[in-house]
Amino acid sequence: MSFSRSLVVILSIIVLALIGYLSFKETKDYIINTVVKDGQVKIDQQFHEWNICNDKLPKFQIFVRNNSDLKVFGNLKFLVLISNKGLEKNFMDEVINCAGTDFIKNDYLNRKRMGVDIGRLRPLINYIERGSKLQNSYDYEPYDERKTEKEYNFKFQQCVSLKPGGILKIETEKQIPVNIRGGVTKIIIEDITF
pLDDT value of residue 4: 77
Long-range contacts of 102-108 (CB under 8 A, 24+ apart): 104/128
Q: Give strand pairing partners of 46.
A: 62
Task: Answer left, alpha or beta for residue 182, where phi above 0 means left and psi between -120 and 50 means alpha.
Answer: left
The tens digit of pLDDT for each residue in 140-175 reads 999 876 666 678 999 999 999 999 999 999 999 999
Q: How far apart are alpha carbons 111 and 105 in whole angstroms?
A: 10
DSSP 162: E
DSSP 181: T
The tens digit of pLDDT for each residue in 114-141 reads 988 888 899 999 999 999 999 888 999 9
pLDDT band for position 103 (cuts 50, 70, 90): very high
Beta-carbon contacts of 161 under 8 Å, excluding residues fewer than 6 positions away, are 71, 72, 73
The tens digit of pLDDT for each residue in 70-96 reads 888 889 999 999 998 899 999 999 999
Q: Strands 41-49, 59-66: parallel, antiparallel or unpaired by DSSP?
A: antiparallel
Residue type, 24: F
Nearest to 194 by CA among 16, 35, 3, 45: 35
Residue type, 101: T
Share of the chain above pLDDT 70, in %: 88
Q: Where are the alpha helices (DSSP H) in the chain?
A: 2-37, 89-99, 101-114, 121-129
The tens digit of pLDDT for each residue in 5-16 reads 777 778 778 877
Question: Is pLDDT larger for residue 23 or for residue 115?
Answer: 115
